[in-house]
Structure 1
Amino acid sequence: MIANNLCYTTLLTNEQIIKYNLTNDQYIKTPSGNYFATYSYHKGLLPNILETLLNTRKKIKGMLKDETDPFKKKVLDGRQLAIKLVANSVYGFTGAAVGKLPCLEISQSVTAFGRDMIDQTKSFMEKHFSILNGYEHDCVVIYGDTDSVMCKFGTKTVAESMKLGREAASIISEIFKKPIKLEFEKVYFPYLLINKKRYAGIYWTNPDTPDKMDCKGIETVRRDNCSLVSKVISKCLTMLLYDRNKEAAIAYVKHIISELLCNRVDLSQLIISKELRKTDKEYVAKQAHVELAAKLRKRDAGKAPKLGDRIPYVITSGTKKMAAYQRAEDPLYVLENNISIDTNYYLENQLAKPLLRIFEPILGDKAESILLHGDHTRHKHVSTAKNVGMAAYTVKKNCCMGCKSSLKNEVDYLCSHCEHLKPTLYIEKMAKLSKFEKKCSQLWSQSSNIIQKCVNFEYSIDCPIFFMRTKVIKDVEKITLDIKKFTM
């Protein structure tokens, strides 16, 4: 915008160019077909604002380099990031058709110039950094988007890549209008490019140690996925990128899928949450969180979610004909009423696609058969919802603690065949109780701030231990009742 003087005050029509008899050096035609006056004719207001913002940010970044006080460094860093955000927003609000100051001619021109610059950069890079010009490898531009270009130089070390990156930035900056300046930003090694706006890699800004693992467009932080997805994807990327161990990542995925299908994954990891943005009638299609909100209003209108609230839910088991939105349920209600979870839903609708996106570039067409089919998917926890189908008419019977056969007397807890196992079963139950009590104690002692938050409110959907703690309390209560039977 600064280089080409793009502004509301410099926008021209073809008629105005003819009317004011403007010469070729007094206006430009952008790649999108729009006309703007050049600096020689009139300097725009937006370029002036942007120059002021960028100069201020440059000064603050200079102060940041010299500052030693950690608190002041954070303040300065926040300040320069705020100015960066404002500067970037100048382009954004010109393209917002429903905004206060839309001017699509400016936003169209900016994106058109950007596309042309990416194409120029790609052509120059691949032509200049080639074996014909004395370099060890031919450079390949593998990705370009918005304001960045990612190149593969074919180097063996991160240090070599950084050296060539800085050289490329310096050379290419010379072919563009000032003040446009390309800067070397980072090296990704290794790098996993999935598709447009979806990639992950180990981020390097110095050749000695990596800064972090950087992910874009991958399900590692999204709240409309359950936390199990984030956990599994993050772990897989760590194994693939940091450890470079494909076999370990595959084994881990198989283990998690097996645990999920056998219903051994903690409920807290299966919670999905979505914001209630409109009233029930305003939603065109049926949605799980909306239907659950209506269900909660019927149960207790005083505690029902309001507009703007995030609604946590899990998908429970049901009949084959029941849609997922009909099976959405409050996690706390599920825990208290021992309702079974539809583990197949979580595999097919939550885990499968993110996993395949990551593993298909590595395993190819075999990714689905390796990860989602095989021995690890054959053992399943088969459960039926208590309130649908034939299950609504079933009655739970008293069973033997040893062989699980049904017992006629409600007071009994062992059949005649298992009577001799009484001491062994008692020891096993006590060991389980000790294990659950220890886990319960550990959860209660974790982070006093989190616990305070959970105690003060009925429950927090973002609390990492609330549902885990509720589940283990129920486990303690259940096993305590079993142990009491031995002393009756």
Structure 2
Amino acid sequence: MEKKTFSSAQYGKSENVKTTIHGRCMFDLLPIMRRSQNLSSYSLNAVSAAFLGQQKEDVPHGIISDLQRGTDDDRHRLAVYCLKDAYLPLRLLDKLSYIVNYIEMARVSGVPIDFLIERGQQIKVFSMLLRKCKDASLVVPTLPRSQNNEDAGYEGATVIEPKKAYYSVPIATLDFASLYPSIMQAYNLCYSTLVAPGDVDKLAPGDYAKSPSGDIFVTSKKKKGILPLILEEVLAARKRAKRDMNAATDPMEKAVQNGRQLALKVSANSVYGFTGAIVGQMPCIPIASSTTAYGRQLLFRTREEVERVYTIANGYKADAEVVYGDTDSVMVKFGVDAVEEAMPLAEEAAKRVSDIFPNPIELEFEKVYFPYLLMNKKRYAGLLWTKPEKYDKLDSKGLETVRRDNCLLVRRMVESVLRKILINRDVPGAISYTKNVISDLLQNRIDISLLVITKGLKKTVDQDDYKVKQAHTELAERMRKRDAGSAPALGERIAYVIIDKGKATPLYEKAEDPVYALENNIPIDCDYYMKQQLQNPLERIFEPIIGLSKVKSDLLNGAHTLKRSKPVLKQNSGGMMNFAVKKLKCLGCKAPLNGKGALCRSCVEREAEVFSRQLESVNELEHLFARLWTQCQNCQGSLHQDVLCSSRDCPIFYKRIKVQKDLGEAQASLERFQSVEW
């Protein structure tokens, strides 16, 4: 066994332990899951809950040896824990077809499976390039790192400025199929076809073409490039794999063909990135810059053609308008009122535009959004229709529903608001719901599990790469000092909440472990969650609908934004707080008490009423705790054993700790009643 560190610009830095067994291919699911899935946590429990709908009892590391030395039931419990550690990854491999997909990727790219797991994207393209060059009797140069111009750069894809609005008419989406691979084939962009400026005079006028970026390549009539040949074969093989997949009746055969077509798709899309990777094996900026330049040209040409043809003057119902465009797609408003009217127009427009461009560049009609909420560049949401009968789903891009650097409260709130606006068409209902969420947050009624933020630990505080102190890295260091054995490792995602330590305290000092905050009764910084987590998403969503001024005046201000602070005296606050004495308060009117009783003199007459209310509170908490305890027992598979699980990815865990603490405090308050006279 050896510790391996993986680092790349795309995936960041992570540490793993590699086990070598001769004759066996080690297939580690954790790094594969980190690369392919966008999750808030990559613990086995979190991943299993997301894809399998089940979890395992997460036994704390410190009590494993106690269970081993315990009774037969304890050892059986430990055995089940170990079995699930092996069983759940197998279920995940089967569910997500990773083994089939990676085997097919290895076959397509010609590299060992462990290369695909342990190395980045470039090795796949480089391997295909080597094989093709060998067949063509070409030599691939080895470029030393000093020749790689790390300061070089080029202009990337373009974005057509969005016309922000809430569209209550269908918006058709037209997409270029495999845009960059198609451009490289259509315009013969390759290392072997790139012409040096001094060699242009040696070619006939029809033997070369100048790209929009100013680079010159010979045409395919003169010489076919290696990269276009690779892409042609890969995309043709993908079409065959998709055809075979659709024809297959055996589930295993269908899974294999699906894995193959996905591998071929990824391989084709990786070729452009390989040429544009400045710190790479064979960077070639003229190829990459020409590809993106052609892409920008195609996008603007598409907009011009659609808006030129589809007009009232040409006999159409309305003048078409491109409301947004990004890299390889355009969003078109044809001015019709129904989805069934927009779809034929979109299909016709896709075919008309495709005929303008050289093969194999093709514009396809994919979907219609109706209604459609366009908030900003790369931020939109709408009901997605592929058939006129019924919408497929609520689709969103760039919003907090799909971003994992926001707490769960934001994601759930944004999703609920979008459902009310887009599905129910109930804007007043969405506003009312939002006000209730804001009120609950500022009144400390939100469960802490909804306020947890996660971020990946890519560097430690010992590394001087961070120019500004980061909240999660500083917390990781504090957790390491508290308990080095349970501290997060490099590459893991850290869960934290922002606690209230005063406005003057920097953010990196406010990050805290959620369990530690619960156990020590540390208050949450509600202002941070309101201003830094909720405010921006709400402004983006509601601005196109009701206007920014109304969002600020009605939604983010008002009676529902009144804050209820819950100051808590912390035992280790330091300074003068070490000499402070905590006084008990009357359970009736909350006035300070000098003694240890339950009520002040003014509330003694209401002793029976206050006692009854306190007893009712204890009963409610006991009932809630029993329900949570039973849920955890059902999950662990036993209704007769204590709950040991400490899974921080489970919302029930946080609720159980919170209710258990509240119950203890409520019972302590109840015990303050020395005698009750009825």
Same fold (TM over 0.5): yes
**Residue 372 of structure 2, aligned match among 188, 191, 204:** 191
1:388/1:210 Cα in 2 relative to 1: closer, same or farther (>3 Å)? farther
Letter of the structure 2 residue corresponding to residue 338 of structure 1: N
**Residue 425 of structure 1, aligned match among 597, 601, 610:** 610
Q: C-alpha deviations, 1:215-272, integer Å up to 9, x for none?
A: 1111113232111111111111111111111111111111111111111111111111
- Residue pairs, 1:271-282, within 5 angstroms: 271-281=452-462, 282=464
Partner of 1:466: 653
Letter of the structure 2 residue corresponding to residue 400 of structure 1: C
1:369 and 2:550 matched: no
- Aligned-pair distance for 1:110? 0.9
- Aligned-pair distance for 1:389? 7.6
Partner of 1:396: 582
**Residue 527 of structure 2, aligned match among 315, 328, 344:** 344
Matched residue of 2:213: which SS?
A: coil
Is the contact between residue 542 and residue 548 of structure 2 (CA under 8 Å) also seen in structure 1? no
- Residue pairs, 1:47-446, within 5 angstroms: 47-67=228-248, 73=254, 75-281=256-462, 282=464, 283-366=466-549, 367-383=551-567, 386=570, 387=573, 393-410=579-596, 412-446=597-631
Is the contact between residue 629 and residue 643 of structure 2 (CA under 8 Å) also seen in structure 1? no
- Aligned-pair distance for 1:352? 0.8
State the distance in 2 between where 1:365 and 1:80 align. 46
Partner of 1:12: 195
Matched residue of 2:495: which SS?
A: strand
- Residue pairs, 1:13-52, within 5 angstroms: 13-18=196-201, 21-52=202-233
Matched residue of 1:280: which SS?
A: coil
Is the contact between residue 539 and residue 548 of structure 2 (CA under 8 Å) also seen in structure 1? no
Matched residue of 2:523: which SS?
A: coil
Q: C-alpha deviations, 1:331-386, integer Å up to 9, x for none?
A: 11111110111101111111111111111111223222222111111243253563
State the distance in 1 between where 2:274 and 2:569 align. 51
Matched residue of 1:421: which SS?
A: helix
State the distance in 2 between where 1:456 and 1:106 align. 58
- Aligned-pair distance for 1:72? 5.3
Matched residue of 1:178: which SS?
A: coil
- TM-score norm. by structure 2 comes to 0.67
1:140/1:474 Cα in 2 relative to 1: closer, same or farther (>3 Å)? same
Is the contact between residue 31 and residue 112 of structure 1 (CA under 8 Å) also seen in structure 2? yes
State the distance in 2 between where 1:228 and 1:138 align. 42
State the distance in 2 between where 1:87 and 1:45 align. 13
State the distance in 1 between where 2:293 and 2:238 align. 26
Task: Tell which deviates more after alignment, 297-306 or 192-201.
Answer: 297-306
Partner of 2:667: 480
State the distance in 2 between where 1:205 and 1:332 align. 45
State the distance in 2 between where 1:445 and 1:223 align. 30
1:471/1:456 Cα in 2 relative to 1: closer, same or farther (>3 Å)? closer
What is the identity percentage for the equivalent residue pairs of Structure 1 and Structure 2? Answer: 48
1:254/1:134 Cα in 2 relative to 1: closer, same or farther (>3 Å)? same
1:237/1:23 Cα in 2 relative to 1: closer, same or farther (>3 Å)? same
State the distance in 2 between where 1:449 and 1:76 align. 39
Higher relative contact order (CA 8 A, sep 6+): 2
Task: Tell which deviates more after alignment, 427-436 or 241-250.
Answer: 427-436
- Aligned-pair distance for 1:62? 2.1
RMSD (CA atoms): 2.4
Matched residue of 1:474: which SS?
A: helix
1:450/1:237 Cα in 2 relative to 1: closer, same or farther (>3 Å)? farther
Is the contact between residue 319 and residue 388 of structure 1 (CA under 8 Å) also seen in structure 2? no
State the distance in 2 between where 1:391 and 1:224 align. 35
State the distance in 2 between where 1:59 and 1:300 align. 55
State the distance in 1 between where 2:575 and 2:329 align. 56
> Structure 1 regions of 5+ residues with no counterpart?
none
Q: C-alpha deviations, 1:160-188, integer Å up to 9, x for none?
A: 11111111111111111011111111001
Q: C-alpha deviations, 1:117-139, integer Å up to 9, x for none?
A: 11111111011111111110110
Matched residue of 2:602: which SS?
A: coil
Partner of 2:96: none
Is the contact between residue 229 and residue 351 of structure 1 (CA under 8 Å) also seen in structure 2? yes
Matched residue of 1:339: which SS?
A: coil
Letter of the structure 2 residue corresponding to residue 426 of structure 1: F
Task: Tell which deviates more after alignment, 85-94 or 292-301.
Answer: 292-301
Is the contact between residue 202 and residue 211 of structure 1 (CA under 8 Å) also seen in structure 2? yes
Task: Tell which deviates more after alignment, 110-119 or 288-297.
Answer: 288-297
